[in-house]
Structure 1
Amino acid sequence: MTDVPFSCSCGEIKGTLHHVTPRNGNHVRCYCAACRAAVLYTTGEDVGTNGVDLYQTTPDRISFQQGRSNLGVFSFSPKKLLRFRAMCCGVQMFTMLPTPKFALAGVMTNLLEDKTAIGPVAMEAFVPQPDGSTKHSSTLRLYGGTMWRALVARISGRWKQTSFFDITTGKPVAEVYLLPKEERANLPL
């Protein structure tokens, strides 16, 4: 198992992704409109049909050495994923469910110092099909691995070891900015 440093684009936020292996997480490429919109919103760059690479693990595997107070949170609606971004340089860093009780953290792989520990992309989500529908590859591994890691974190109490939520209130460490309709109108949602 390897510890992998990460940082935001400007280096103000720095941390470590702990115990990284392909078994401790899923290296996923997601093609959904929300992931594409989040990157466009935070960086101004449209990934188009390339997808967004994430390493899905549990929040207890993420620690910060500096700048955690510079994290901001946004979402496209009250019940959608929370997207943590660096307020210093704006880049999206993490995705989480809106509750800490289901331990899931998606780490943007472009922020990792060394991606070799997470292995190659092992699954793809929301892959566009010629008929306009979408499908997932390695569905059992994608959902099964995520559910299993979240269950183990819940039973063991590791879900409480998070830098992203106040466990007593269940609220994120920063106020969630809900993008208003006019901002969402310019995004591929």
Structure 2
Amino acid sequence: MAEIKLACDCGKVQGHAHDMDAIKGNRLTCCCSDCQAFAYYLMNLGRGNNPTILDQYSGTDIFQMPISKLTIDQGVEEITCMRLSEKGMNRWYTKCCNTPIGNTLGGNMPFIGVVHNFMRHQTSRVGEIGQNRAYVQTHEIKKQIPTALKGSSSKAILRSISKLISWKLRGFHRPSVFFTQEGNSIVTPIIKHKSEIMQNIKTN
């Protein structure tokens, strides 16, 4: 199993994903409008010449893994969070250089979808976490995905659900660098509604 290095673009935030590989996690590409809005939100904050978040099909390459298997070794104070609604998914990123970290559910859920920008693979992405299993939530894509790349979204989603249940039963929601023992977020999430983000994109 691989120990995958994690780091933001400027290097202030660094950590590791422990004991992870293609079997223990779930790699997929999400094309939902929320993931697109998060990417645009970070672009609006300013990412300079840093690598793009979205691919040519408006998708975000994500590795789903147990939250307890992710540790931050330095730069925790640079981590912040936003939501697209008051009860939306927690979307974590770094204040220092606006690098996306990953998406989580509530504080008692054992899940984080780590965004590809936060992973620093020593060999290759495929070698460490496997091939992309599928593009999911493709109803709002801007460019048609070739059949050979698309994969089975239903199988990928079912795998996500089964992993989530297994991780919960095994207590993989603790410890978490993002939530306290009581399940509270370590920072107060910024609320930025999707409509506002997308309107800014249209007017720029």
TM range (shorter): 0.7 to 0.9
SS where residue 158 of structure 1 aligns? coil
Q: Does 1:101 align with 2:108?
A: yes
Preserved contact between residue 26 and residue 123 of structure 1 (Cα < 8 Å): no
How far residue 63 of structure 1 moved from its aligned partner, in angstroms, is: 0.6
SS of corresponding position for 1:5: strand
Does structure 2 retain, via aligned residues, the 8 Å contact 1:16–1:63? yes
Deviations 1:104-143 (A, max 9, x none): 101011321112311111111112489xxxxx84344323
Residue 165 of structure 1: aligned partner = 179
Match of 2:28 in 1: 28
| Residues 27-106 of structure 1 aligned to structure 2 (within 5 Å) | 27-44=27-44, 47=54, 49-97=57-105, 99-106=106-113
- C-alpha deviations, 1:27-70, integer Å up to 9, x for none? 11111111111111113468363411000111011011101121
Looking at structure 2, the residues matched to 50 and 183 of structure 1 have their Cα atoms a distance apart, in angstroms, of: 16
**CA separation in 2, counterparts of 1:122 and 1:142?**
6
Which one of 126, 149, 153 corresponds to residue 163 of structure 2? Answer: 149
User: Across the two proteins, how many residue pairs are aligned to each other?
Assistant: 183
Q: State how far apart, in whole Å, the 1-side matches of 2:18 and 2:65 are.
A: 10
Q: Is the 8 Å Cα contact of residues 110 and 173 (structure 2) preserved in structure 1?
A: yes
Please tell me whether the aligned partners of residues 53 and 60 of structure 2 are also in contact (alpha carbons under 8 angstroms): no
Structure having the larger proportion of residues in strand:
1
| Contact 1:55 1:106 (C-alpha < 8 Å) held by counterparts | yes
Cα distance in 2 for residues equivalent to 1:155 and 1:142:
20
Greater displacement, 173-182 / 45-54:
45-54
- Structure 1, 102-111 or 179-188: larger mean CA deviation: 179-188
* TM-score, length-scaled by structure 2: 0.79
Cα distance change of structure 1 residues 105 and 46 upon mapping to structure 2, 3 Å threshold: closer
Query: What letter matches 1:178 in structure 2?
Result: I
Distance 1:123 1:54 in 2: 11
Q: Which residue of 1 aligns with 2:6?
A: 6
- 1:184 CA drift (Å): 5.3
Shift of 1:166: 1.1
Structure 1: runs of 5 or more not aligned:
131-135
RMSD, aligned CA: 2.5
Letter in 2 for 1:78: E
